[in-house]
Structure 1
């Protein structure tokens, strides 16, 4: 049994638990998925495309590195796919927001032909997770007279990665949900006893507050589709360790909104309140 077939088995196991396919962070599995995409007659090709586009974790995972390199090949037209155009590949890189994707975008912006370099440069203007090595590449290219590097640096100096973001809504309608009565801790949102599942965001989300609370939140969302849920606590104690971050992740998962259609279970903009 290959890695992909093992992944399909895991998908069925998760389905029985009410979970979606686990986001992919494994380099070898992603490589196998890409091979199936390249093989136009592969029986798993259609689903492989779906998992590649929508279910590979970004960041510094091995899977992200393989995905970014494959997208680079598409943009440079070394590989042609009907389902992923050069423009769409750039969009996918933009949503990966750091790590291997920035390295690839810099490769394209600084070394590719002008039309590709310009487009990659426009994407880079929206990226904020650059390491010292990345900015050093821009500095060197700028010192050699690279116009795209100059354009990117000027954009950064103006803060366009922030000023060009979509405006926040002038009015956000909310409906409140009381997390619990009395003093609560972030451990209520992400229990230490469930720390083993924190890397699996959807699974870990099942432990926030209680199953009853989650059901109540979903009911409120159904009854008030035009409103956002604001979770309220009378007072709270900041937990220790990773319960703080994973607790916020869980609140966002249940009450926030998707940060990207191509990054699974990473939500943004939860609304919270305290008295």
Structure 2
């Protein structure tokens, strides 16, 4: 898998474009390598995990979130990723398959502060908001912190201020169109 991906990176670099993100099958192979990393490949493996898997609800993100959740719960191990680091990495996935494991981590006193920080800056919660609310009502202090953070709009206020002036280009498209017509989707990542 590593050889193939390095070849892919070189081919794309020769074209002046970035490599495509990992697919689910490549992510599954990466999981196995992370469990038993070949000597000298540790840094590359972590880089692939952190930077080459799309966030959200991509199939590779599903595999990534499942692996990181298993590490966080102690169901899987990697000499490269502690449970704390697993929760931290789940927090970078922006929403989707990472949300449930982050909410579960609110019940683990060792992982809860990391999960609370991640959830405080995650907006793509959908109905999982109610799971955090339920934990807060049941007395979970970390869930209460997350709810308060959302109420205080820390996710918004922690962002850089918008420029006083923003110059944009507007495309006028006649007829019916949607964002799929304008987005290169996975090829853009």
- CA RMSD after TM alignment: 3.2
Indicate conservation of the 8 Å contact 1:36/1:45, yes or no: no
Unaligned runs of at least 5 residues, structure 2: none
The superposition leaves residues 114-151 of structure 1 with CA deviations (integer Å, 9 ceiling, x where unpaired) of 1311321121111100021x123223323433222222
Distance 1:143 1:166, change over 3 A: closer
Instruction: Please name the residue that 1:222 is paired with.
Output: none
The superposition leaves residues 52-96 of structure 1 with CA deviations (integer Å, 9 ceiling, x where unpaired) of 1211111101211221232234444552434x4555433322221
Secondary structure at 1:100 match in 2: coil
Instruction: Please name the residue that 1:168 is paired with.
Output: 161
How far apart, in 2, do the equivalents of 1:170 and 1:231 lie? 12
Indicate conservation of the 8 Å contact 2:113/2:142, yes or no: yes
1:241 aligns with one of 178, 183, 186: 178
Instruction: Please name the residue that 1:144 is paired with.
Output: 138
How far apart, in 2, do the equivalents of 1:122 and 1:49 lie? 22
How far apart, in 1, do the equivalents of 2:104 and 2:163 lie? 39
Instruction: Please name the residue that 2:19 is paired with.
Output: 21
Distance 1:79 1:166, change over 3 A: same
Confirm or deny that 1:49 pairs with 2:43: no
Confirm or deny that 1:107 pairs with 2:104: yes
The TM-score normalised by the length of structure 1 is 0.56
Tell me the CA shift for residue 43 of structure 1: 7.2
Count of matched residue positions in the alignment of Structure 1 and Structure 2: 185
Q: Which has the higher strand share?
A: 1
Unaligned runs of at least 5 residues, structure 1: 175-229, 250-263, 267-275
The TM-score normalised by the length of structure 2 is 0.76
Instruction: Please name the residue that 1:153 is paired with.
Output: 147
Distance 1:245 1:124, change over 3 A: farther
How far apart, in 2, do the equivalents of 1:41 and 1:5 lie? 13
The superposition leaves residues 17-54 of structure 1 with CA deviations (integer Å, 9 ceiling, x where unpaired) of 22222112x22210101111222336755533321121
